[in-house]
Chains A and B, each alone.
Chain A
Amino acid sequence: MEAKEKLEKLEEMFELDEGTLSEDTLLDDIEEWDSMSKLSLIVLLDDDFGKKVTGEQINGLVKIKDILKLME
């Protein structure tokens, strides 16, 4: 999957406008990045990418880039 498509999936998950996110966006700068969106991310990674992640991995995420890596 293209990086652009992955970003769109994340924007959809965060309910953000298209083009809002870039690889270097800091998660702490996203107002919607909270415990509830973390659960949505776990489901997204599981459903669309077949990836299981731990709480430690989720809490260790800093930039959008880090999420994209998990999607590989």
Chain B
Amino acid sequence: MILSEFKKIKISAIVGAVPSNWTSIENFINDDNRETVEKFSNMTGVKGRYNVNDFQTTSDLAFAAARELLEKKNIELESIGAIVYVTQSPDYAVPSTACVLQYRLGLSKECMAFDVNLGCSGYTYGLNIVASLMNSSNIAKALLLAGDTSAKEKSRKIKTKTANAFRMLFGDAGSATLLEKTDEESYIDSVSCTDGSGFKAIIKPFTGYRNPDGKGVSLMNDIDVFNFTISEVPKMLKDYMKLKGLTPDDYDSLVMHQANLFILKQIAKKTKFPMDKVPISIDTFGNTSSASIPISLIKEYGDLNEDRNIKTLMCGFGVGLSWSLISADINIKDIYPLVKNDDYFLDGYENETDL
């Protein structure tokens, strides 16, 4: 097992943002599908989710979360040495949206900025990447922004057979996480894995340079994804805990990517975590891709404002196929209440024909 260990870096703030528009899954019900939708809701746990407006992108949500974080923590903009943006719904194919975010947030020109194309595993991967950058530099503070607006995309590009399930499952959200160097005793452990032989399990095959003339249809082989998840993910979690001599009793929380409730229950069962240690956000937020772990923490702890450390085991898994864990302590007071924001950035482009 390849293990990344960071001793003097801590997660010192987590903020999540969603748009104000929330729709219930009941809106999908008609005379013909009531039973199917209800069964879907029971199994996945989704009761509804937030949707961005037509003009809003993931980066607008991530920006709102980051701005709130910088204000709440009273962070000097010049002190941020890196901004990494994990998303599969970037503003553009070119350039990296992280560069636009560096500009919008007013961060220093010395700040490193780039995008990472990962989804469900992206938050834990992203923490590993940001902590690694800090570990090998004199960067004292860095931002990880993560999120997706999968629901928006699904409503635009429909593959008939699974369209409704896709649209009901996914929600839109963005997040911002601050990592800081600290002199206190601290640790962040991370494991990040890949099985690219499963690249077709979740794919948009006609969206890049390989097959350029497409409309961007999404494919998901739910059985393959499920099989992968219930075998690889518990194995990684158990192997890590064994290596470190830890058990579920040592943790306050197993914070998982919110794929669907059925999968979360299977992973909890296989790793022997009781469900009361598993924060659930898929009910209100749907599957929010790389924002799902911070959103789950926020739903569970964001309104408590307690000065108390919790020991968390975080775990993302999915598209790639890719999976990753983070083991770290987080102070509950550093997990902030949910931000709702409908603002969007005007980049000055309207019609491609005008160019």
When distances are taken between beta carbons in the complex, the residues of chain A under 8 Å from B222 are: 35, 38-39
When distances are taken between beta carbons in the complex, the residues of chain A under 8 Å from B43 are: 36, 39
A36 touches B230 (CB 8 A): no
Write the nearest CB–CB distance from A56 to chain B, whole angstroms: 9
B262 touches A39 (CB 8 A): yes
When distances are taken between beta carbons in the complex, the residues of chain A under 8 Å from B266 are: 43
Residue A71 CB within 8 A of the other chain: no
A42 touches B226 (CB 8 A): yes
Residue B227 CB within 8 A of the other chain: yes
Counting chain B residues whose Cβ lies within 8 A of the other chain, the interface size class is 10 to 19
When distances are taken between beta carbons in the complex, the residues of chain A under 8 Å from B226 are: 39, 42
| Complex partner residue of B230 from A35, A43, A54, A58, CB under 8 angstroms | A43
With contacts A38-B222, A42-B227 known, what are 4 further pairs, Cβ within 8 A?
Answer: A35-B165, A39-B43, A43-B230, A46-B230
Residue A59 CB within 8 A of the other chain: yes
A54 touches B227 (CB 8 A): yes
A34 to B39, CA, bound (A): 11
Beta-carbon nearest neighbor of A43 in chain B: B266
- The interface of chain B, by Cβ under 8 A from chain A, is 36, 39-40, 43, 165, 221-224, 226-227, 230-231, 262, 266
- Sample (8) of A-B pairs whose CB atoms are under 8 Å apart: A35-B222, A36-B40, A39-B223, A39-B262, A42-B226, A42-B227, A42-B230, A53-B227
Dominant SS among interface residues on chain A? helix
Beta-carbon nearest neighbor of A53 in chain B: B227
Write the nearest CB–CB distance from A32 to chain B, whole angstroms: 8
When distances are taken between beta carbons in the complex, the residues of chain A under 8 Å from B231 are: 52
A39 to B229, CA, bound (A): 12
Beta-carbon nearest neighbor of B224 in chain A: A55
A59 to B223, CA, bound (A): 9
A52 to B43, CA, bound (A): 21
When distances are taken between beta carbons in the complex, the residues of chain B under 8 Å from A35 are: 165, 222-223
When distances are taken between beta carbons in the complex, the residues of chain A under 8 Å from B227 are: 42, 52-55
When distances are taken between beta carbons in the complex, the residues of chain B under 8 Å from A38 are: 222-223
Q: What 7 pairs between A and B have smallest CB-CB spacing?
A: A55-B223, A55-B224, A36-B43, A39-B226, A35-B222, A58-B223, A38-B223
Write the nearest CB–CB distance from B128 to chain A, whole angstroms: 29
When distances are taken between beta carbons in the complex, the residues of chain B under 8 Å from A54 are: 223-224, 227
A54 to B198, CA, bound (A): 12
Question: Quick one: CB contact mask for A4-28 with B, threshold 8 Å, 1 for yes?
Answer: 0000000000000000000000000
A56 to B223, CA, bound (A): 9
A58 to B221, CA, bound (A): 12
A57 to B107, CA, bound (A): 52
A43 to B227, CA, bound (A): 9
